[in-house]
Structure 1
Amino acid sequence: MTLDRTKLLAARLKAATDRPYLASALFALSVVESTVVPTMAVDRLWRCYVNAGFVDATPVPQLAGVWIHEVAHLLRDHHGRAGRLPSDLQGDRSRVNIAQDCEINDDLIQDGLALPAGVLTPGTFGLPDGRLFEQYLPDIPETPECPRCGSGASGGTEPWDLPPGEGGRVSPAEAQSIRRYTADAVRAHQRGRGTVPTGWRRWADGILEPTVDWRQVLAGSVRQAIAWASGAVDYTYRRPSRRSAAQAGVVLPSMRRPAPSVAIVVDTSGSMSDDDLAAAMAEVAGVLREVGVRGNRVTVLSCDAAVGVVRRVARAEELELVGSGGTDMRVGIATALAQPTKPHVIVVLTDGMTPWPDEPPAARVIAGLIGPDPPLPPTWIESVRVR
């Protein structure tokens, strides 16, 4: 079957006419006819692969909706975000693609777009609208049947992908320019009293007013501190150097690399709300997962004006936080340093309404500051705003 390009391009024109803020992105896509792709799909170079049979069987209004669906994967940088998932989730491309479709399709349906029958939405899985695909992913069940929106969505490569040097293509720098131009167009359309779905408004705000992902910053700070501690080699006589055999009557020390340990001090004072404590718990779980320090190398202390609970943990489910009195994180830091296994890194999760030690302790301290406007700690403490 020959691809009906007139019908396909008429659908793109309709999509661009009805949603003018997406026009530049839609026309940046180059068309590649393919008998391998099941329907339509995109790669990360903004090449749109199209099956002629799918175009012939799909009415123009629905084709227009599919055009917008595919370009949304690229505008929202789904392949880039998929590449930042944990490795076990990156390999499950079917569930990733389904979660991404849930992020997109609820906005398209809210916008009144016609879509082919059987499209997946958050409601398909009993989930609420308006979330990002990373939030949907844990609740998406394993399924043998899934959409295939291409490597521009779930990452990796697809059998229909052209080599990088073939066909029309958009560079990463050009793609970012398209995203910013489109975000400006979304804002302008909204100011002109046009209707823009909530998801697109939120996306445009994120492009035009980017915020640093504090989760990555916090995990990165802890990883850097752990790497620093791991590189702090020292001498030990517990295992004599092999060179001792060449020195009669002399025992030479060997070098050792310490296994880093982490203490996490969680502020449980009365000034911390239940939501703040939930955020603190989540970040403890994130640090345990991201940094890779396991078993008896992690100590968690719940602290207000005094230390309530000291536990070594390997999983977030083991945590227990008690308190609700005054606030003095100096006590928590001192207690952490007094543990039999002295920590190399101390992470303090607090709203900042606390006194701090007058001098840097014998460990690297990172403060995760929770709340809308926390006061800053001393300059020798590395701080991360938890929003």
Structure 2
Amino acid sequence: MRGDAAEDAAGLDRAKLLAARYRAASDRPYLASALYALTVVPSGRVPTMGVDRRWRCYVSPAFVEATAVQELAGVWIHEVAHLLRAHHGRADRLPAARQRDHLRVNIAQDCEINDDLIADGLALPAGRVEPGHFGLETGLLFEDYLPRLPEHLTGFDCGSGAHGHPRDWEAGDGTPGVIPVEAEALRRHTAEAMRAHERSRGNLPAGWRRWAGNLLEPVVDWRTVLAGAVREAVAWAGGAVDYTYRRPSRRTAALRAVVLPSLRRPLPRVAIVVDTSGSMGEDDLAAALAEVTGVLREVGVRGDRVSVLACDADVRAVSRVTSAEQVELAGGGGTDMRVGVRAALAARDRPHVVIVLTDGYTPWPEEDPSCRLIGALIGHAPADPPRWVETVRIGDRSARTR
């Protein structure tokens, strides 16, 4: 260790810092394995404490000196919570425009963590971030807090272990750290320890209880369910075959004066019927449409094989698209998705698959339209469609199908 790093290490009150970690692990024993997995890296360039993706904890000697042991214990738990909750991985899945605002993402994550820590009676340093500072309710995930935060925020940066983007004060690969498979093992071990603690003492904070439950008994994200339904429907439609003389069979050469047709596997056509009524949430609707068009591109269904119909009480627009950004979500009357489905099926190029994005408060066709029909129901309590509609529920960041 040389230069500034040696000076930082010499100036760090390591006994005080480690006493704070011991206190955190003693008071919350279910976090002990995760806390002791962190590698301490003294740094005068980090404002307080921060973590990177490799579970290395960067510590400001000046911050340790100025902060009481009780509050340092709270900061230890705060930093390890970023890693246990895989904030960096979740941040990687945000839309690109939101990922770029590292600090705003970090503050949303701090809101998710700190409301749990404060409810658990942990002491945190002055200036801590809470949802109430922005007039927001507690108990949400950072993905829910992020769009509700004001623009142009200021504050501390917890590092790439939070928002996912390396900072200039983070160490290179030569410093020991935790690899991803070890991190997953630590998360599972911690979740199991929380379950055991709750059974014996019954005082696990609500945020940690939810996190442990989701890890040990995961609920499939609606994006995964929707993507699977679309892929399966497209594969089913693409499995239909027909004979064509446009490309004669290779066996024709073995026969004289006879031309044999070859089998043709057509590329499916897909119609997306979008509910643009006033009751629809624009953000969830845009997210669902982006997921659908993204999956269709992956499986090779694009261009003039995809039509999008914007529909409320009537069909307002039919467009050929190659990306979700090309679709204008406009409308706002009552809702009757039967109109959109009928229009899709009446097209000259009848679709093999119809995907309906709606809140579910609509009449549906009275009978199975003899094609694959997927209903992506958006919202927290959508009404049930007929049994023959393949259903994906979009809401609460999870989904179930039937």
Q: Against the structure 1 CA distance between its residues 195 and 316, is the aligned structure 2 distance closer, same or farther, given a 3 Å change threshold?
A: farther
Gaps of 5+ in 1: 230-257, 269-273, 303-307, 324-328
Other structure's SS at 1:141 match: coil
**Are 1:188 and 2:201 an aligned pair?**
no
After superposition, the CA RMSD in angstroms is 3.6
Q: Is the 8 A contact 1:330 1:356 kept in 2?
A: no
**Are 1:359 and 2:367 an aligned pair?**
no
**Are 1:11 and 2:23 an aligned pair?**
no
Amino acid at match of 1:77: A
Count of residues in Structure 1 that have an aligned counterpart in Structure 2: 335
Other structure's SS at 1:105 match: helix
Residues 309-338 of structure 1: CA distance to partner in whole angstroms, max 9, x if unpaired?
A: 212284445343335xxxxx7775333222
Q: Distance in 2 between matches of 1:191 and 1:48?
A: 31
Q: Distance in 1 between matches of 2:92 and 2:391?
A: 27
Deviation at 1:262, TM superposition (A): 3.9
- Of residues 186, 198, 213 in structure 2, which corresponds to 1:178? 186
Deviation at 1:173, TM superposition (A): 1.1
Other structure's SS at 1:175 match: helix
Q: Distance in 1 between matches of 2:161 and 2:276?
A: 42
- Which residue in 1 is equivalent to 2:334? 321
Q: Distance in 2 between matches of 1:341 and 1:126?
A: 51
Q: Against the structure 1 CA distance between its residues 355 and 175, is the aligned structure 2 distance closer, same or farther, given a 3 Å change threshold?
A: farther
| Identity within the alignment, % | 53
Q: Distance in 2 between matches of 1:286 and 1:321?
A: 22
Q: Is the 8 A contact 1:39 1:51 kept in 2?
A: yes
**Are 1:208 and 2:216 an aligned pair?**
yes
**Are 1:347 and 2:358 an aligned pair?**
no
- Which residue in 1 is equivalent to 2:263? none
Deviation at 1:169, TM superposition (A): 1.2
Deviation at 1:366, TM superposition (A): 2.6
Q: Is the 8 A contact 1:24 1:178 kept in 2?
A: yes
Residues 351-370 of structure 1: CA distance to partner in whole angstroms, max 9, x if unpaired?
A: 8987542632xxx6433267
Deviation at 1:218, TM superposition (A): 2.2
Gaps of 5+ in 2: 1-7, 238-266, 295-301, 319-326
Q: Is the 8 A contact 1:263 1:299 kept in 2?
A: yes
- Of residues 308, 321, 327 in structure 2, which corresponds to 1:298? 308
Of 329-338 and 195-204, the range deviating more from structure 2: 329-338
Q: Is the 8 A contact 1:219 1:286 kept in 2?
A: no
Q: Against the structure 1 CA distance between its residues 267 and 87, is the aligned structure 2 distance closer, same or farther, given a 3 Å change threshold?
A: closer
Residues 84-125 of structure 1: CA distance to partner in whole angstroms, max 9, x if unpaired?
A: 000011111010000000000111110111100011110111
- Which residue in 1 is equivalent to 2:31? 22
Q: Distance in 1 between matches of 2:288 and 2:351?
A: 15
Amino acid at match of 2:334: L
Deviation at 1:202, TM superposition (A): 0.8
Q: Is the 8 A contact 1:14 1:64 kept in 2?
A: yes
1:1-387 alignment to 2 at 5 Å?
Answer: 2-143=11-152, 145-164=154-173, 166-218=174-226, 262-264=271-273, 278=280, 283-290=284-291, 291=293, 298-302=308-312, 308-312=313-317, 314-316=327-329, 318-322=331-335, 332-339=340-347, 345-348=353-356, 349=358, 350=360, 355-357=366-368, 359-360=370-371, 365-368=373-376, 383-386=391-394, 387=399
Deviation at 1:345, TM superposition (A): 5.0
TM-score, with structure 2 as normaliser: 0.72
TM-score, with structure 1 as normaliser: 0.75
Q: Distance in 1 between matches of 2:367 and 2:38?
A: 55
Q: Distance in 2 between matches of 1:193 and 1:18?
A: 13
Amino acid at match of 2:225: V
- Which residue in 2 is equivalent to 1:240? none
Amino acid at match of 2:215: I
Amino acid at match of 2:74: G
